[in-house]
């Protein structure tokens, strides 16, 4: 009898321990798209950020780069709304992108790309791309945490093996309108353009105008940029929950003042310090009085945020043309698309270095188009072949459709260029171990959560640092001792 009880409790201890030591990673999904039209490419976003728990690969402790791939993009095609000829044209575009990127960079894990043809005549876009998910990693070289897009994370050495594509079977999803797969158009530059957005050319910064942060939030300040807010919507419970903030991504953290190129707009530590806070503000529709009162506490978070001056300054400067540049590792500064008018900045494209853009749809570029044309917000001669575009605008500074500037930006973000010294940095994945409610907030259903990993860098990942696990083990030991003594 004693053996039976003892064995049973050993099994229980083992089970409880395994449950409480399960490590997961938050994968952040955005309801954000880049929409490519004849009038230009626009960044369409809202405040909804959902973080899914994704597992790690058991049995592995370290992920290091393998041999480079010959084709970095692994494509799947939904051509049910198009013809065979249109589908083949889309496949040829991805094949071109594979040859182009694969000849310049070393990719180690396939980037899964889903390409869809739509025959919706009401669709006004040429192509649209959903922003890929992000993870938060710590760079041990500078001890800073930033958001990294999934195609890039796949290429890095990681201290924790993430199970990629656990939520979606793709990293980048692009939809192309069937009209532009006809013979008179060259869709290859558009596909390359959309893939570049998927590789990290996108901004997650939240714009606040007139102090309006969002529905039901109390007003705070006037005009500024701040880290993206994580808001999880639960239709079943009829509520949304404010969970926290996301740090700067690898595109934004390298923004400098184009007029004074030694000045970075954001100090990574002070601008991101608000991202350490884990929140739990429920918002029902209609909002409860208690929730409205608690939501007023949100302003206390902003009171403690040390990046407000930077957010205000960036708003003021970025609402002028030629005000923001991306500074690369080799010192070049490439202008990021902003406008001279009061329109909101683009911040997801490049612009000619000698052109003052008056507004979002200003197409008066003329001969000012330069080698970075592939990432302009405006379409540049969609009828021209790749060779014609390169000869007309490349200025001898491109490899295929990619300029040396764009290649340098990708290197600065963390992509490995062929022939360069291998970067052996091991990035620290911001993992999560379930802890008690005094340390983290977890959704009731246990499937979707957000905000915890933004605070995880101040916590130990060691099993013994979980208070619940410690209590369970101690209580189980005392119970076992008590049972054993009771049989004497």
Band (354; pLDDT cuts 50, 70, 90)? confident
Q: Which residues span the domain enclosing 476?
A: 2-21+466-486
pLDDT average, residue stretch 353-360: 74
> Roughly what angle, to the nearest 10 degrees, separates helices 467-486 and 2-20?
180
Residue 132 and residue 193: Cα distance in Å, rounded?
15
Q: State the alpha helices, DSSP H only, in 304-364.
A: 308-318
**Contact of 395 with 405, CB cutoff 8 Å:** no
Q: Which pLDDT value is given to residue 477?
A: 55
Coil, helix or strand for 212? Answer: strand
Write down the mean pLDDT value for the chain. Answer: 81
Q: State the alpha helices, DSSP H only, in 257-348.
A: 268-272, 289-295, 298-303, 308-318
Whether 477 is covered by a domain: the verdict is yes
Whether 347 is covered by a domain: the verdict is no
Between 37 and 306, residue with greater pLDDT: 306
pTM given for the model? 0.82
Band (38; pLDDT cuts 50, 70, 90)? low
Whether 480 is covered by a domain: the verdict is yes
Whether 409 is covered by a domain: the verdict is no
Whether 178 is covered by a domain: the verdict is no
Q: Which pLDDT value is given to residue 233?
A: 72
Residue 106 and residue 154: Cα distance in Å, rounded?
12
For residue 281, how many other CB atoms are within 10 A of its CB?
Answer: 19
pLDDT in tens, 91-104: 999 999 999 999 99
Q: Which pLDDT value is given to residue 468?
A: 38
Sign of CA dihedral 289, 294, 299, 303: positive
Residue 118 and residue 46: Cα distance in Å, rounded?
23
361 burial type by CB count under 10 A (0-12 exposed, 13-18 middle, 19+ buried): middle
Chain position carrying tokens 């197409």: 363
Whether 349 is covered by a domain: the verdict is no
pLDDT in tens, 218-265: 999 999 999 988 777 777 888 888 888 899 999 999 999 999 999 999
Q: Which pLDDT value is given to residue 307?
A: 96
460 pLDDT higher than 50? no
Q: Which pLDDT value is given to residue 131?
A: 87
Between 360 and 319, residue with greater pLDDT: 319
Whether 49 is covered by a domain: the verdict is no
Whether 11 is covered by a domain: the verdict is yes
- Bridge-based pairing of strands 172-177 and 127-130 is antiparallel
**Number of separate domains in the chain:** 1
pLDDT average, residue stretch 397-416: 97
Q: Which pLDDT value is given to residue 447?
A: 28
pLDDT average, residue stretch 188-194: 96
pLDDT in tens, 278-313: 888 888 888 899 998 888 888 999 999 999 999 999
């Amino acid at each position: 009898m004693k053996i039976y009880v003892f064995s049973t409790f050993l099994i229980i201890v083992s089970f409880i321990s395994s449950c409480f030591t399960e490590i997961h990673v938050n994968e952040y999904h955005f309801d954000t798209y880049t929409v490519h039209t004849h009038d230009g490419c626009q960044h369409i976003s809202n405040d909804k950020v959902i973080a899914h728990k994704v597992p790690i690969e058991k049995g592995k402790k370290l992920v290091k780069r393998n041999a480079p791939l010959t084709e970095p993009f692994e494509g799947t095609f939904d051509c049910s709304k198009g013809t065979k000829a249109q589908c083949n044209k889309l496949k040829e575009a991805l094949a071109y992108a594979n040859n182009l990127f694969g000849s310049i960079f070393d990719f180690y894990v396939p980037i899964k790309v889903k390409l869809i043809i739509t025959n919706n005549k009401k669709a006004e876009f040429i192509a649209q791309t959903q922003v890929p998910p992000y993870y938060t990693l710590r760079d041990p070289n500078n001890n800073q945490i930033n958001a990294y897009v999934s195609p890039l994370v796949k290429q890095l050495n990681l201290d924790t093996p993430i199970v990629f594509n656990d939520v979606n079977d793709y990293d980048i999803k692009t939809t192309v309108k069937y009209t532009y797969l006809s013979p008179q158009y060259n869709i290859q530059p558009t596909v390359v353009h959309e893939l570049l957005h998927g590789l990290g050319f996108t901004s997650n910064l939240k714009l606040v105008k007139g102090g309006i942060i969002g529905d039901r939030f109390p007003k705070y300040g006037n005009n500024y940029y701040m880290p993206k807010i994580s808001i999880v919507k639960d239709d079943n419970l009829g509520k949304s929950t404010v969970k926290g903030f996301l740090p700067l991504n690898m595109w934004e953290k390298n923004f400098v003042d184009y007029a004074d190129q030694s000045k970075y707009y954001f100090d990574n530590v002070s601008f991101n310090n608000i991202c350490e806070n884990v929140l739990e503000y429920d918002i029902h529709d209609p909002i409860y009085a208690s929730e409205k009162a608690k939501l007023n506490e949100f302003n206390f978070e902003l009171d403690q945020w040390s990046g407000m001056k930077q957010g205000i300054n960036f708003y003021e400067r970025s609402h002028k043309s030629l005000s923001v540049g991306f500074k690369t590792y080799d010192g070049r500064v490439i202008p990021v698309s902003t406008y001279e008018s009061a329109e909101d900045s683009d911040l997801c494209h490049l612009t000619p270095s000698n052109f003052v853009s008056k507004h979002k749809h200003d197409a008066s570029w003329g001969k000012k188009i330069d080698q970075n044309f592939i990432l302009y917000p405006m379409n540049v001669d969609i009828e021209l072949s790749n060779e014609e575009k390169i000869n007309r605008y490349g200025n001898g500074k491109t490899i295929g459709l990619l300029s040396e500037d764009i290649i340098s930006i990708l290197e600065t973000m963390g992509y490995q260029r062929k022939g360069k010294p291998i970067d052996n940095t091991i990035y620290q994945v911001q993992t999560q171990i379930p802890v008690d409610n005094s340390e983290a907030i977890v959704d009731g259903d246990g499937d979707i959560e957000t905000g915890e990993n933004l605070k995880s860098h101040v916590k130990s990942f060691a099993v013994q640092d979980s208070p619940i696990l410690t209590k369970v083990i101690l209580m189980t030991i005392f119970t076992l001792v008590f049972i054993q003594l009771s049989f004497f």
